[in-house]
Amino acid sequence: MTTDLRRIARTVAASSYRKAGEVGRRVFGAPAGEAPDAARQAVAAAPGALLPDPSTPPWTPMPDGDGPVCPVCRWQGESFSGSAHVELSQCPACGANGRDRFLHWCLADRVALHPALRVIECSPRLGEGYRSAMATWFFYRTSDYDLSAHRGNLQLDLQNIDLPDACLDVLLCAHVLEHVPDTDKALAEIRRVLAPGGHLLLQVPVLQGRTAPPTEPEFHGDNTPVFWRFGFDLTSRLRHHGFTADLLCTAEFADAVASGSNPWSTWAGAFDVPDILDGARRDAVASDLEPIADRTTAARVGIVSRSSLNCGSGARWAMAARMASVPWVSTRLTRGCRSRPAGSWASMNATSSPLGVFA
């Protein structure tokens, strides 16, 4: 295999989703610039390390300076490890990758954070240290549809959420909606369980401009089937379901859309960048795009590429949907929720909720 072919194979393999990426790394080696696993583990396993540090909640101002800083755990250092790709560029301390950092940056930027917030995170990628810190900062629970790929306190089906109306302040839903067959059912259910003023922070991979099913069977790294490849028309679907939808992006991406041309010369193969930009121009009106980080900030917190590998588009793109002034609907509050083997929201609420949600 020629050097060029090896380089291309390594890049393509590493830029695929988790499992394919892992297999690719085993076969072709780590992409250039990726820190050795041993170095990452040495940092993560430092004596006494429990990152994020629960004593530094996400509403603490970011530290001064201009060097890299992780918005999840506040690690500061010379550079994030791994190649400049949303899935691979990792915080050496907590393991947050580019999209984790983007989601948390959006959370802190868009939501008035405080300890009483009732937060559910769907299929969280990060482990025990992160979950335990989140549970210190918020009334926080995790959920997964079948508890196979991710562990969770709850086993929720987004198409039929086993929770009462208006019981939730924040739903973090990163890279889950593409695995749900009926998007409209899920959005209607999410709207139902969000309290007035609640927030849905919805992050989906965007590989193309307009929503369509995959043209051939597609599975992400945890063998979960993909039902939808979303595009920018998702904004109008959120509005159709009663959300006030904003499309959060980096200034780099907003500038690219406004420029009318494609400023990037190369990109990871899975992303159809010209179609993404066309879709953004066609289906996202200018006011939809809300830059949440200028170039300097985005580079500092690691939500912008350090190379052209992923070129500031695709999965770093996220949506945040906010409930407008929706009347308080409580007719179904008394319905409670049916217990699930993994522990029910109701039972945890009775013992842990600072708000007495169902009282």
Question: Which distant-in-sequence residues (6+ apart) come within 8 Å of 136 by Cβ?
Answer: 54, 57
How many other CB atoms sit within 10 Å of the CB of residue 81?
A: 21
From the number of C-beta atoms within 10 Å of its C-beta (0-12, 13-18, 19+), residue 1 rates as exposed
Binding status of residue 93 toward Zn ion by CB under 5 A: yes
Consecutive H or E run containing 140: strand 139-143
Q: Is 298 in the site for Zn ion (CB under 5 A)?
A: no
What letter would DSSP give residue 92?
A: T
Nearer to Zn ion, 94 or 276 (CB): 94
Please say which residue, 75 or 139, places its beta carbon nearer to Zn ion.
75
Please count the residues of this chain forming the interface with Zn ion, following the rule CB under 5 A: 8
Contact region with Zn ion (CB under 5 A), list: 40-48, 87-95, 200-208, 296-304: 87-95
What is the closest distance, in whole angstroms, from the C-beta atom of residue 310 to Zn ion in the complex?
A: 19
Interface map 39-78 toward Zn ion (x if CB under 5 A): -------------------------------x-xx-x---
- Which uninterrupted H or E stretch holds 4? helix 3-14
Distance between CA atoms of residues 265 and 276, nearest Å = 14
Of the pair 91, 276, the CB lying nearest Zn ion is at 91
CB of 75 vs Zn ion, minimal distance in Å: 4
- Can residue 102 be called a binding residue for Zn ion (CB under 5 A)? no
CA angle (149 as vertex; 321, 50 as ends), nearest 5: 80
DSSP label at residue 69 = B
Piece in contact with Zn ion (CB under 5 A), picked from 78-86, 95-103, 173-181, 238-246: 95-103
Q: Distance between CA atoms of 208 and 317, rounded to whole angstroms?
A: 12
Q: Which residues pair with 203 in a beta bridge?
A: 174
221-250 residues in contact with Zn ion (CB under 5 A) are none
Q: Considering only residues 43, 84, 86, 94, which one is a binding residue for Zn ion as defined by CB under 5 A?
A: 94
Rounded least distance, CB 268 to Zn ion, Å: 23
Return d(Cα 117, Cα 95) in angstroms, integer: 25
Query: Residue 251 Cβ, how far from Zn ion at the closest point, in Å?
Result: 23
Tokens standing for 39?
């170095």
Q: How far is CA 168 from the centre of its chain?
A: 18
* Residue among 43 and 245 whose Cβ is closer to Zn ion: 43
Measured from the CB atom, the residue of 13 and 73 that comes closer to Zn ion is: 73
**Residues in contact with 182: Cβ distance below 8 Å, sequence separation at least 6, in sequence order:** 159
CA end-to-end span of the chain: 66
From 41-49, 91-99, 125-133, 189-197, give the range in contact with Zn ion by CB under 5 A: 91-99
Give whichever of 5 and 45 is closer to Zn ion, judged by the CB atom: 45
Cβ distance to Zn ion smaller for residue 127 or 263: 127
Q: Does 108 bind Zn ion (CB under 5 A)?
A: no
Q: Quick one: which of 13, 14, 43, 96 contacts Zn ion (CB under 5 A)?
A: 96
CB of 80 to Zn ion, least distance (A): 9
The whole-angstrom distance between residue 299's C-alpha and the CA centroid of its chain comes to 18
Between 99 and 229, whose beta carbon lies closer to Zn ion? 99
Rg of the chain, C-alpha, whole Å: 20
* Closer by beta carbon to Zn ion, 72 or else 180: 72
Q: What is the DSSP letter of 126?
A: S
Q: How far is the CB of 92 from Zn ion (least distance, A)?
A: 8
Task: Quickly count: other Cβ atoms within 10 Å of residue 128's Cβ.
Answer: 9
Residue numbers of the site for Zn ion (CB under 5 A)? 70, 72-73, 75, 91, 93-94, 96
